[in-house]
Amino acid sequence: MIVVGEQERAHGDMGNMSGHLTNMGALGKSRTSITCSMGGARFPEDGSTVDEVLVKADIALHNAKREGKNRACFFEEHMASMFGERVRSESIVAESVRTENFYLVYQPIVE
């Protein structure tokens, strides 16, 4: 979600959307659980282009998912550094798997 205007109103709108999706959980006589995680960013505060704001909304979405199901949050600067560290770590692991740099080490524990 990209917000132009008041963040508080947008946060309320996100809650309303989540509530509507949760209520859609009825399929005939059976019910199912539907949850929705959402991330938002503000224009122009969080970026000067659509792409920049979308990236930051995506980072906020990943943060909302990390916090648990059915969450909504807006982008904050500290999220970018946490997200960058995670991407770097995943990249290092992927490269290590690709180049077969992992090896098994056995260390017995004796009490």
Q: Which domain holds residue 84?
A: 2-98
Q: What percent of the chain has pLDDT over 70?
A: 87
Q: Any alpha helices (H) in the chain, and if so which ranges?
A: 7-23, 50-67, 77-98
Give the model confidence (pLDDT) of 66-75 as tens digits: 998 888 889 9
Give the model confidence (pLDDT) of 26-36 as tens digits: 667 777 778 88
Asked whether residue 109 is domain-assigned, the answer is no
Q: Are the C-beta atoms of residues 50 and 58 closer than 8 Å to each other?
A: no
Q: How far apart are CA 77 and CA 59, in angstroms?
A: 10
Residues linked to residue 26 through DSSP beta bridges, in sequence order:
31
Asked whether residue 49 is domain-assigned, the answer is yes
Asked whether residue 105 is domain-assigned, the answer is no
Asked whether residue 89 is domain-assigned, the answer is yes
Asked whether residue 11 is domain-assigned, the answer is yes
Q: How many domains does the chain have?
A: 1
